Amino acid sequence: MMAASPRMRNALTLFSSTDCVLCHRVRLVLAAKGVTYDLVPVDPQNPPEDLVDLNPYHSVPTLVERDLVLYAASVVSEYLDERYPHPPLMPVDPLSRARLRLAMLRLEHDWVPQVQAIQLGNKAQAEAGRKRLKELLTASVPLFKASKFFLNPEMSLADCAMAPIIWRLDALGVGLPKDGKAIEDYGNRIFRNPGFARSLTEQERKLRELPQ
């Protein structure tokens, strides 16, 4: 980790793409915590010099707090949950925490690549991504039915990882499965939270309408 530039030492700063599920995940954690921060929009194809200096991978999301520089959505999200403990976004007991961490790992490894293939890939890659994402949604319907939030009775970091994907489904051209009302209800439950609206960039607000 490199030291933050002098102009960033006294503020919480997030380098973020304007339409990225991993960046949105971190912005949703910040919104849920009610944390004030400076947002630096980043074009991943042309990262700013500050980001190049701070992060050897030049990737987003990247969080800067004084001399601390963190990157990777999972690392940043867990840091924020511990740094700003209220409201807690992870359960207390180790078994439930491990279960949610495993779910978030599955999202990163299985779900996010499909979103990226649809957004950034060629036609064949995008179609394959849509097909696979629909399969993942179908297989997960029982999980959405089982609890008010994703694998947990209260909102957690897993919801912060899942909700940005659900928000983008229409824009990605991915319809819900036939028995997917539980997914729709889950999404609306999250989207009605005032923190979700605060997490959206201008570009993300245009993807769909917030439920009433």
| Active site positions, annotated | 20
Distance CA(185)–CA(145), nearest Å, equals: 9
DSSP string, 50-105: HHHHH-TT--SSEEEETTEEEESHHHHHHHHHHHS-SS--S-SSHHHHHHHHHHHH
**Cβ distance 111 to 165 under 8 Å?**
yes
The torsion defined by the Cα of 128, 57, 107 and 25, in degrees rounded to 10, comes to -110
